Amino acid sequence: MKMTLIYPSWPKLDRQTEFHLPPHGPVVFAATVPKTVELHFIDENLQKIDFSENCDLVGLSVMLTCQLPRAFEVAAEFRKQGIPVIFGGIATMLHSDEVALHADSIFLGEAEGRFAAVIDDFQSGGMKKVYNYMDNPPDAGLIGTARREILNRELYNYRGVQMLDLVHASRGCKFDCFPCCTGFLGGKNFRPRPIDKVIQELEAIQNNRLFIVDNSLSQDRQWLIDLFTAMAPLKKKWVSHPILDDDQILRLAADAGAWYVYQAVFDTSDVIRNRIKRLKDHGIAIEGTIILGTDEQDEDYIKRLVDFLLEVELDVAEFTILTPFPHSPIRASLAAEGRILSSDWLKYGADKVVFQPKLMTPEKLQEMYHYAWNTFYADGGHAIKMGKLFRKVIQREMEDDTYYRYNPRMKRSFAKQKSQP
């Protein structure tokens, strides 16, 4: 049986350098697909879909709300030809009723230990309209090593530099922040994977540089100590969401290869200033994630915030506009106040205003989004600041002799160049 798995394209943030990370959901999902199924993967951000290709079942893996409009077009094209389509992934869970209108089947929840039964149903002609495991997540020990071999790895580079590989050591998040959907997705629980399985997966990845996509590395202190201690000998370099703000943990993280973290910066307080300083003191760089449009922000507030980011010398900043994604706490409160202006999912890429801000007009907030990007990057674009971050990691790889680990051919050509008169 042949299954084509597709990751539909989505619009990148206006102003951000266009780069494409290897999709994570699809490769983790692929590990749950029985080996008897011949699986072919297409990342539409970088590959063209061949609608005439022969297959028995199409799977659409949809992570973002703004991916949905394209996912629906792709599904319609296959279904027109009589090829059944099953949807899964985060946006499928967040928009299940709407997605069901465009699908033969929808899969809600995590697929580990569950997808083989869907294939059995399909092969016996009885695939169900809905598979719903949202209230019953699998044991995190069932999460296997992602099947990264389904990716065409050569596509994932930026100007010749290999992109990071994505990996996760836990699921869920015990916090329930206002703009976030993870409470709904993961049941507000932290679910760590067994550390030996994580290490096995990290060892298998043919890349020095990783993005650990766990929601938050600040949920369980002892687990972090165990994880970072086990990771240190691998000498990988990695990016992550926030790490527990604690000197011992940050030191262990740095020793385990922490390269830079995404750190939410929501105000200009000393708490944030000190957090940034502590990260820097441990040699960990910072990509600030800054949400624009919260209720306390007006034009001056945003200007002060951008000045602050420049003053504390953030390495990189990613500005987004507050977006009321379905099943986030903020959507419920904005909806109750009648402040949602649009539910056109294409506009839900986090760079367009789709709600009524409290202290600005929607047009002013949109203008301030551009102001923030333009001002922060006035003395060098996003690509230049990213380039500096990459130079930092290359320097560390040279120091601990890991730079050529997955690229011995480069070492030989470098040595040859050096030996030439």
Instruction: List interacting residues with ligand SF4 (CB under 6 A).
Output: 173, 175-177, 180, 182, 215-216
Min. distance of Cβ 281 from ligand B12 in angstroms? 26
Min. distance of Cβ 379 from ligand SF4 in angstroms? 30
- Site residues (CB under 6 A) for ligand B12, limited to 106-135: 107, 110-112
9 contacts ligand B12 (rule: CB under 6 A): no
Among 8, 25, 257, 288, binds ligand B12 (CB under 6 A): 25
Binding mask 250-289 for ligand B12 (x = CB under 6 A): ----------------------------------------
Binding mask 346-385 for ligand B12 (x = CB under 6 A): --xxx-----------------------------------
Residue 416 one-letter amino acid: K
CA atoms within 13 A on the CB side of 386: 13
Continuous segment of H or E residues that includes residue 161: strand 161-162
39 contacts ligand B12 (rule: CB under 6 A): no
Binding mask 160-199 for ligand B12 (x = CB under 6 A): ------x-x-----------xxx--x--------------
Which CB atom, from 43 or from 397, has the smaller least distance to ligand B12?
43
Distance CA(369)–CA(352), nearest Å, equals 9
Per-residue DSSP letter, 215: S
- Is residue 385 within 8 A of residue 377, CB to CB? The reply is yes
CB neighbour list of residue 366: distance below 8 Å, 6 or more residues apart: 321, 352, 353
Distance CA(283)–CA(296), nearest Å, equals 33
Residue 19 one-letter amino acid: F
Distance CA(231)–CA(121), nearest Å, equals 40
Continuous segment of H or E residues that includes residue 289: strand 285-292
Nearest Cα neighbor of 166 from 263, 21, 4 is: 21
Would you tell me which residues interact with ligand B12 (CB under 6 A)? 11-13, 21, 23-26, 28-29, 59, 61, 63-65, 86, 88-91, 94, 107, 110-112, 166, 168, 180-182, 185, 213, 215, 318, 320, 325, 348-350
